[in-house]
Amino acid sequence: MLFYSLYLLGLYGCLIIPKAVCYQIARWVADLYCRRAVKDRQAVKGNLSAILGTSEVSDAQVRELFRNFAMYLVDFFRFSRLDAAKVQRLVRVDGLERMRQALAGGRGVVGLTAHLGNYELAGAVLSLAGLPVNAVVLSHRNRRVDDFFTRQRSHVEVKGIPIQRMGLKAFFQTCLSALERNQILALVGDRDFFDHGLVLPFFGRTLRVPTGPANFSFRTGAPIVPAFLVREPDGGYRFIIESPIVPPQGLGREAAVRQMTESSLKVMETYIRRYPTQWYMFQEFWNPGPAVVL
C-alpha cells in the first residue's frame, strides 16, 4: 500500500508540476535516498567498478545514477502527456528505418534492450511511431502497483506480457503469437531473473544471462534488434536502434542461441559502458539475490 501511494503521489505531482521542477525534486529525493540506502549505494558502486574497470568510483558517479533513475520515473509518470508530436520534439531517433526494415521481413522483431536509460520510453517511442510493441514485464508484488504500471503503458499503447501472471505455456504462446502477427516483442536482456540462462562473460566476469531473445529468434526467424534510449549530457534524449542480429545459418539450436546471446551481450556492454550511470542495477549484479520488484 505504501509503494502504491507513493506512485500515485509521484503521478499526480508530475502531471501538475512543470517537468523541469519535477526533475529538480526528483534529484533532491534521489540524493536523500542515496545517502540513506547504504546497501544499495554499495551495490551500485561495485557494479560501476566492474563496468569501468576501476575501483576509483566516485560518490558523484553513484549519486548521478540514483538521480538518473529518479528522472526516469518522472518521464514514466508523464506518459499520459505523450503523443507522436511530442516524442518527435523530445527524442532524437537514430535508426528507426532499421526497425521498419526488420519488420518488413514479416517474422516480427525481437526488440532487445537493457535496464539502461529509459527503456519504458523506448517502447513508447516505437509505439507512437506506429509500430506494435509487446513488452515482456516482471509483475510487481502489489497488484495495485502492477495495475498502475499497466495503465501507464496503456497510455502509449504498449502491451505488457506479465511473465509471472500467466503459466509458462501461455507466456510462450503469447510471445510467439506477437511475432507471428509481425509485431515487436521487447525484452530486457541483461539479467536472468529465473536462472534458466547460459553462463557467459559479461564485463570480464561470468554470470548467468537470459537466452529468451535468442531462443525466440531461432524458433521464429525473427531478427533481434538491439535498441537503447538514453539521456545525453545536454539533457536531451537519444534513441539508438542498432543493426539486427539474425539467426546464423547451419548451426543447431544450442550453438545458434549461444552465438546470438554472445552477440547481444557485446552490444549491451558497449552501451552500458558508454552510459554507466544510467544502468539501473541496485543489487550486486554479479552476486544477485532474489529479484525485487516494488
Of the candidates 77, 101, 131, which is a domain's last residue?
A: 77
Residues 60, 97, single domain; the answer is no
Residues 70, 87, single domain; the answer is no
Residue 262 lies in a domain: yes
Of 271, 282, 278, 281, which is closest to residue 72 (Cα–Cα)?
278
Each residue of 212-229: pLDDT tens digit?
999 999 999 999 999 999
Q: Identify the domain containing residue 69 by its residue range.
A: 1-77
Each residue of 285-294: pLDDT tens digit?
887 554 444 4
Residue 287 lies in a domain: no
Alpha-carbon torsion angle 121, 239, 23, 71, nearest 10? 60
Is the pTM for the entire model greater than 0.85? Answer: yes
Q: Quick one: pLDDT at residue 289?
A: 52
Residue 20 lies in a domain: yes
The count of domains in the chain is 2
Residues 109, 189, single domain; the answer is yes
Of the candidates 31, 61, 77, which is a domain's last residue?
A: 77
Of the candidates 26, 59, 77, which is a domain's last residue?
A: 77
Residues 96, 227, single domain; the answer is yes
Residues 45, 165, single domain; the answer is no
Each residue of 25-38: pLDDT tens digit?
999 999 999 999 99
- Asked whether the predicted pLDDT for residue 42 surpasses 50, the reply is yes
**CB of 179 within 8 A of CB of 216?**
yes
Terminus-to-terminus CA distance in the chain, angstroms? 11
Q: Largest alpha-carbon pair distance within the chain?
A: 57
What is the average per-residue pLDDT within 122-130? Answer: 97
Residue 285 lies in a domain: no
Q: Quick one: pLDDT at residue 291?
A: 47
Residues 138, 248, single domain; the answer is yes
Which segment of 9-18, 104-113, 122-131 scores lowest on mean pLDDT? 9-18
Residues 22, 125, single domain; the answer is no
Taking the C-alpha atoms of residue 11 and residue 155, their distance in angstroms, rounded to an integer, is: 13
Residues 71, 187, single domain; the answer is no
